[in-house]
Amino acid sequence: MIDYFSQIPDARKILLGFSGGPDSMCLMLLLDELKEQLNIEIILAYYNHMLRPQDELSKELSFIRKIADQYKLPLEIGTDSGRIEELSAEIGEEGAARKARYEFFEQTMKKYGCDHLALAHNLDDTVETLVMRFFKGSGIGGMMGIPDQREYIIRPLSSCPKSVILDYVEQCRTGYSLDTTNLGTDYLRNRVRNLLLPQIREIFPSCTKTLLDFSDKASMTYSFIKEQTAKLVVWQDLGNGIFSTSYSNFMACPDVIKIEAVYSCFDLFAKGENRELPYRFVRTVLDKKSVRRGALLLKGYGFKIRRHGDSLEWYPDKENNKIYNNRGFSVEKSLVSLCKKDDIWIPVDGVQGELFFRSWKNGDYIISGGIRKKLKKIFSEWQVPVEMRSAVPIICDSRGVIAVWGGLYGYRNRVSDLIRLEDKSGEDREVYILKARQD
């Protein structure tokens, strides 16, 4: 711990994200023990996401207040007042909870004049993150794991295994709070921790070391790629979400640099938001060996890249609610006489206004089989993980939701009574057919 803080000489007033669990309890005990030697001041910050039973939360809050009083540490408590629900439709409940929590941390840092935010991520968290990112198709940059320091965020326990943390807290006899949601499988990280990793470790006992070694190699490789990209492709910020770079320089770059250049500009465009940009979408820039003037190089996920003279210009896409070409599917118009059960076929003459696609929003509902049901309840019945719900295409017209395409991700489909096609064999009708792309 002393060695870690020797690399952060400007750390003086630290906000500690404190849940009362074993990880943050361990970090609090260590920082409190060393605060005079390190010449630091500690403030505790607890965020109540309001996602657990009230009796469990009340006990946890009581315990946290007791610990703060016992160690004479300032404590700031934040409580969600609808922010998570507001964000969930766009980024899922798990992502929304994280964003709301970090917003609270940033506000509290300003209030107390803190220079660093200390989080208690440990070595096991890094391994879980690497596994999740690998199976979600992360690029090499994502396989670097969780950094032990990034800007004002510090993670002093990042190299410490969970088992060591538990032993230390047990020896200190302070007790700790237990978040029961960590024992379940509602969230992706919990499923990885409680279901997948035990199976992996049974087959590959040394997987932790192997993954960390791979992460180290990925870090060195990505650092080189990022350094070269910054030299070869320079994005000029023109304001209002518009960026520009040299077309000829970009097209002359190796493929790996082109890919990283798109990701680097997306980071500038997203302004720190936790938004994902799928590799399968980005790599389509490699299919184009040249782009005529005025033509698009890439479009989707809220932006478009167009050639303008000898420049490539990145613009916000005002039609980013339309996802015909960036969610892995296409829409075709055809004459058919027999509807297949597994497809979503929408009668052209049944659509009112514009047909468009978007992610679900809180309060969305569909009328199917004469029953009005909220999409949130449908996703729950289908057992769609909260972090996947924003990826399921919602098909709408001017009247609202007319179909839910769960079949794209292996779930069911739900079609509104407003557009449902009755099977009239032999009778042709013009329909939109939604098809998953196989490329």
pLDDT along the chain (439 residues), means of 10: 78 93 96 91 94 88 96 95 78 80 95 95 94 84 88 93 95 89 77 93 95 94 96 93 94 96 91 71 89 88 88 78 44 53 70 80 85 88 77 84 83 82 55 63
Say whether both 297 and 263 belong to one domain.
yes
Q: Do both 45 and 9 map to the same domain?
A: yes
> Would you say 382 and 375 are in contact if contact means Cβ atoms under 8 Å apart?
no
CA 40 to chain centre: 33
Residue 13 counted as domain residue: yes
Total number of domains constituting the chain: 3
Domain limit, last residue, from 183, 203, 225: 183
pLDDT tens digit sequence for 401-417: 888 988 777 778 888 88
User: Environment class of residue 49 by beta-carbon count within 10 Å: exposed (0-12), middle (13-18) or buried (19+)?
Assistant: buried
Instruction: Quote the pLDDT of residue 136.
Output: 78
Instruction: Provide the 10 A C-beta neighbour count for residue 93.
Output: 22
| Domain of 383, in residue numbers | 329-436
Do the beta carbons of residue 304 and residue 296 sit within 8 Å? yes
Query: Which CATH number is 242's domain given?
Result: 3.30.465.60
- Residues 159 and 103 placed together within one structural domain of the fold: yes
What is the per-residue pLDDT for 327?
Answer: 42
> Which tens digits make up the pLDDT trace of 313-323?
998 876 543 33
Q: Is residue 136, in this structure, part of any structural domain at all? A: no
Answer yes or no: do 308 and 383 share one domain. no
pLDDT of residue 1: 72
Identify whether residues 310 and 333 lie together within a single domain: no
Q: Are residues 364 and 252 in the same domain?
A: no
Q: What is the per-residue pLDDT for 410?
A: 74
Rounded Cα gap, residues 109 and 115, in angstroms: 7
Name residue 235's amino acid.
Answer: W
Domain assignment of residue 143, yes or no: no
Closest CA to 323 of 395, 242, 415: 395
Integer-rounded Cα Rg, in Å, for the chain is: 25
Per-residue pLDDT at 423? 46
Tokens 């490329």 belong to which residue? 439
User: Is residue 128 one of the residues assigned to a domain?
Assistant: no
Rounded to whole angstroms, the Cα distance separating 197 from 191 reads 9
Q: Quick one: pLDDT at residue 190? A: 86
Pair 282, 403 in one domain: no
Which of these three, 316, 350, 369, is where a domain ends?
A: 316
Is position 62 within any domain?
A: yes
Q: What is the pLDDT of residue 330?
A: 57
**115 and 256 belong to one structural domain:** no
345 and 244 co-located in one domain: no
Q: Which amino acid is at 246?
A: S
Whether 146 is in a domain gets the answer no
Burial 391-420 (b: 16+ CB within 10 A, else e): bbbbbbbeeebbbbbbbbeebebbbbebbb
242-246/311-316 β-pairing: antiparallel
What is the Cα–Cα distance from 45 to 434, expressed in whole angstroms? 48
State the pLDDT at residue 321.
36
Closest CA to 8 of 110, 217, 156: 156
Distances (CA, A) of 152 to 63, 78, 121: 28, 20, 15
Q: Which pLDDT does position 245 carry in this prediction? A: 96
Residues 178 and 55 in one domain: yes
What is the domain-level CATH number for residue 11?
A: 3.40.50.620
219 assigned to some structural domain: no
Coil vs helix vs strand at 251 = helix
pLDDT for 188 equals 79
The DSSP secondary-structure symbol of 422 reads P
Determine the pLDDT at residue 82: 85
Last residue within a domain, chosen from 271, 293, 316: 316
199 within a domain of the structure (yes/no): no
Same domain, yes or no, for 74 and 176?
A: yes
> Are 48 and 166 found together in one domain?
yes
Bridge partners (DSSP) of residue 313 are 244, 306
- What is the residue whose two structure tokens read 């969930």? 88
